[in-house]
Amino acid sequence: MAKDPRETRIEDLPGPKSPGELEEMKMPYEEYCRKAFDPGNEWAKPEALKGIRWLSCTMYIFTPHSAANLAELGADVIKIEIPRMGDAMRHTSPFNEAYLYPLHDTRPMTGTGFGFLNANSNERFLSMDYHIPEMVDVFYRLVKMSDGLTELYRPGTLDRWKMSYRYLQEMNPRFIYVWGGGFGYGPKVFGGSYDILGQAHAGLASITGMHEYMGGHPLKHSNWCIDWASGTMITHGILAAIHWRRKTGLGTMIEFSQVQTPTRISGYTFPLYGRFGIVRQRWGNWDTQLCVHGIILCGKSDFPDAQNPQDKFDARYVMVSAFNDPDFKELCDITGLKDFYGRYKAHKDRVDARPQVEIYTALEKWAADKTRTQVVKTLTDAGILAAPVMNDREVYECKHYRERGTLRWLDDPLYGDVLVASGHSVGMMTKTPRRTNWIWRPVGADNVGIYRDLLGIPLSKIEEWYNKAWI
């Protein structure tokens, strides 16, 4: 202790005494991350968007996902659905299998399909036919106590119902309004949209798949990736609008056209055309900017005896990356393709289309008598980046995703044991992590919770509306 008790000396304090000691006491980075992110204990931490209330007048994946992102970050999202029917996405299960029952109290034999997953997690479910005159006021009351709304109607529909930004802004100047349309305003304003249309119409499908000269066709991604990506981009807009509102006190209207998203993620495609009149083509599992940087086919399956064709036949693909010169030299050495290194020493030589065809053909020839595991091991042992192309079963088995909590089992309060990725598969946050509390609820499951507890409407009235199918 110092003589004068009012004096604070560093050596009397707990903790490191010098910068050197501090450095020594720091835990290894890996350990630090594990502790800071602590997957599985998200619920002990606060939620970033707690206090934001959002209305989701949406359907399918694209616009609902914009609100689900908010709900996973802690916002109170109220999904408003057509009474007894719900979001059309509920009836769009993969094939005919995965339904969770019931959809609604009046429809015990109808369920909600797994296609609905991830796009509406953590939300509260309200049913309301808000376009009938009797319910308009209730809708306005929700608007007055909410921060914003996402809708996906045909252009001008909500304007006709006096529910567009022009009207709502007068009731609530802080209101943030999102119209997620297929095309947005413009010559194609009345065109509806689906994910596949977005992929096709904005040029993404034309640069996906094998090149025409290899017999390739334009491909759509199997999943509705443009829906998911567009929804996420809307959420960026919403968060920016919330920040802007903190500074100005004013809301915003966000207009998001789904067919815009593929243009945003198309990289150099348009600048290339604009400068040289060159139309980008598909280049399949290879890369137009890097070589070697692609997926090759090995001769033997990792699971030759498996019953599932996805294991039996597809467990043969390996992603290889060795584009910088030392890596490429190493790759040529271990695969016995030494003359390729002689011919294509510089990256600019081997990244051309013709050398790529030669190199990948030779690599596949080399891999023809090997399994996927053998190829990956040979390459990684030599210090080259290589990874098997895994199917979802293998991703589920993979320890990496399990430890980080990317995939996890959720004991859904209503539906029981469900394997989910959703909010946990987005980036991790130390202070306010995303989380999935429940996957969804039946249509109108929160009617009482919202009509009575939030709006103060008596139960007798709620029952009357329910019987008239207004809610």
- The separation between CA 20 and the C-alpha centre of its own chain, rounded to angstroms, equals 43
Determine, following the binding rule CB under 8 A, whether residue 440 of this chain makes contact with another protein. no
Determine, following the binding rule CB under 8 A, whether residue 111 of this chain makes contact with another protein. yes
CA dist 287 and 320 (Å) reads 11
CA dist 285 and 71 (Å) reads 36
- The minimum distance between CB 213 and another protein, in angstroms, equals 7
User: Which bin fits 391, alpha (ψ -120 to 50), beta or left (φ > 0)?
Assistant: beta
H-type alpha helices, 153-268: 157-160, 165-171, 195-201, 225-248, 261-264
CA dist 66 and 143 (Å) reads 18
Determine, following the binding rule CB under 8 A, whether residue 304 of this chain makes contact with another protein. no
Q: Applying CB under 8 A, which of residues 8, 10, 28, 276 lies at the interface with another protein? A: 276
Which amino acid, 311? D
Determine, following the binding rule CB under 8 A, whether residue 82 of this chain makes contact with another protein. no
| Residue with tokens 């309301």, as numbered in its chain | 128
Determine, following the binding rule CB under 8 A, whether residue 186 of this chain makes contact with another protein. no
CA dist 72 and 49 (Å) reads 9
Residues 251-270 that bind another protein (CB under 8 A): none
Q: Applying CB under 8 A, which of residues 6, 354, 400, 431 lies at the interface with another protein? A: 354
Determine, following the binding rule CB under 8 A, whether residue 446 of this chain makes contact with another protein. yes
The b/e string for 110-140 (b: 16+ C-beta within 10 A; e otherwise) is bbbbbbbbbbbbbbbbbbbbbeeeebeebbb
Does the bond joining 279 to the residue before it have cis omega, within 30 degrees of 0? no
Determine, following the binding rule CB under 8 A, whether residue 420 of this chain makes contact with another protein. no
Determine, following the binding rule CB under 8 A, whether residue 279 of this chain makes contact with another protein. yes
Q: Applying CB under 8 A, which of residues 265, 414, 430, 458 lies at the interface with another protein? A: 414
Residue 328 is encoded by which pair of tokens?
């490429």
Determine, following the binding rule CB under 8 A, whether residue 6 of this chain makes contact with another protein. no
CA dist 57 and 61 (Å) reads 12
- The minimum distance between CB 447 and another protein, in angstroms, equals 4
Determine, following the binding rule CB under 8 A, whether residue 224 of this chain makes contact with another protein. no
Nearer CB in complex with another protein: 328/466: 466
DSSP string, 132-169: SHHHHHHHHHHHHT-SEEEE-PSTTHHHHTT-SHHHHH
- The minimum distance between CB 212 and another protein, in angstroms, equals 8
Determine, following the binding rule CB under 8 A, whether residue 281 of this chain makes contact with another protein. yes
Identify which range of 106-114, 151-159, 161-169, 294-302 contacts another protein by CB under 8 A: 106-114
Q: Applying CB under 8 A, which of residues 25, 26, 50, 108 lies at the interface with another protein? A: 108
Q: Applying CB under 8 A, which of residues 32, 101, 190, 270 lies at the interface with another protein? A: 101
Number of residues that bind another protein (CB under 8 A): 59
- The minimum distance between CB 210 and another protein, in angstroms, equals 10
Inter-CA distances, 41 with 49, 282, 411, 414, Å: 18, 44, 15, 21
Residues 394-413 that bind another protein (CB under 8 A): 402, 409, 411, 413
Residues in contact with another protein by the rule CB under 8 A: 93, 95-102, 104-106, 108-109, 111, 127, 211-213, 272-273, 276-283, 288, 353-354, 402, 409, 411, 413-419, 438, 441-449, 451, 459, 462-463, 465-466, 471
